Structure 1
Amino acid sequence: MITEKPEEPEEPGTPLPFFVYGTLRPGEPNHDLFLRDRTASEEPARLRGAALYDGPGYPYAVEHPGAEIHGELVTARPESYPGLLAALDRLEEYTPGDPRNLYERAARPVTRADGTTTLAWVYLAAPPVAARLRTTGTPIESGDWLARR
């Protein structure tokens, strides 16, 4: 359950990269639709403290101590950032403060392949969804959406 206030960038309004773990990953259906020509870089990364659950055609990340999710750290091109942030919020049906959200956008530390960490936006299952998944959901044991098949 998301009970703490998300971490914030040192400077308010500073664009953060995005940690993507499902349909926005390379080779998945939403990657080209949303990220093509809008990113400066994409690199492998891990989100610690979250588990992955299977959803209806897309995954959910649920906070879970000791678990880890594999994905990509996506840095938007500066001129694309505002539009990309809005597009991803729409894709994830996220509206700040809306109790009907399926996901909540939260800033979390993400670990790059070289071991360094950076703060990134992550779409986590909203509290009611997370509670349901913990009880009756299907975990993706590997923590990797691409390896689920």
Structure 2
Amino acid sequence: MAPWSVKPTSTVPQNPHPKPLGWARGLRKPNRLRGEGRKIFRPYSFRYNGWVIFLLAPMVDLFVYGTLKPGEMNYAAYCGDRPHTFETAWVWGQLFHLPRQGYPALTPGNEKVQGILFHFDDPQVLAAIDPLETYEEGRSPHLNEYQRQRQPIFDPNGASLGEAWIYVMALDRVMADGGIWLPSGQWSGGGYEG
């Protein structure tokens, strides 16, 4: 028998319950309930001087509940031409219709507010939407109509989709603007759903 055909025998005891290699290195499995393991970068490529350039663009997640939803008056101007995907989702809060302005406002609360979770490829999308929401980063909160913040988002079955950006209005501002509470947690520009 040739020496290279001899199978070596191991004297090291084998673990009867081996863990995947990633765990053996101290890494932990992503927790889907906390939204971990989701893609936060989207690969894309383009040609430049005959070269194909591959980049990883950061994805921006934005939850919307009013005029930015597909089919509403601001969707085409602010979202329609930007590469994105979206899904139905909800967030904890309290939804109001502002009759003088003709759009809704979300305040902190413990009711389900229905909306759309966008996944944008364009990292500049927030800079384009901030002026619509009368929000300027770094400006005093009482000068902004809305505050942009990160908040947990859920799919229709209640599973976590992680955190996303969302525009929230202070309750005292909503009351001063004559806000009408929407117990359904849904708003449509064709007529609010109370």
**Pairing partner for 1:69 from 110, 113, 126:** 113
Structure 2 spans left out of the alignment, 5+ residues: 1-39, 41-57
TM-score by length of 1: 0.78
The whole-number CA distance in structure 1 between the counterparts of 2:173 and 2:73 is 26
**Pairing partner for 1:95 from 136, 147, 150:** 136
CA contact (8 A) 1:45 1:71 kept: yes
* Matched AA of 2:174: L
Identify the residue that residue 97 of structure 2 maps to in structure 1.
Answer: 54
**Pairing partner for 1:107 from 112, 127, 150:** 150
- The answer to whether structure 1 residue 19 and structure 2 residue 63 are counterparts is yes
How far has the Cα of 1:137 moved from its partner?
2.6
How far has the Cα of 1:134 moved from its partner?
4.8
How far has the Cα of 1:15 moved from its partner?
4.6
Considering Cα pairs closer than 8 Å and 6+ residues apart, tell me whether 1 or 2 has the greater RCO.
Answer: 1
CA contact (8 A) 2:59 2:119 kept: no
CA contact (8 A) 1:39 1:74 kept: no
Structure with the greater alpha carbon radius of gyration: 2
* Matched AA of 2:61: P
How far has the Cα of 1:138 moved from its partner?
1.1
Where 1:87 maps in the other structure, the secondary structure is helix
Q: Which has the higher helix share?
A: 1
The whole-number CA distance in structure 2 between the counterparts of 1:63 and 1:107 is 12
Structure 1 spans left out of the alignment, 5+ residues: 1-10
Count of aligned residue pairs for this structure pair: 129
- Give the percent of matched residue pairs that are identical in Structure 1 and Structure 2: 32
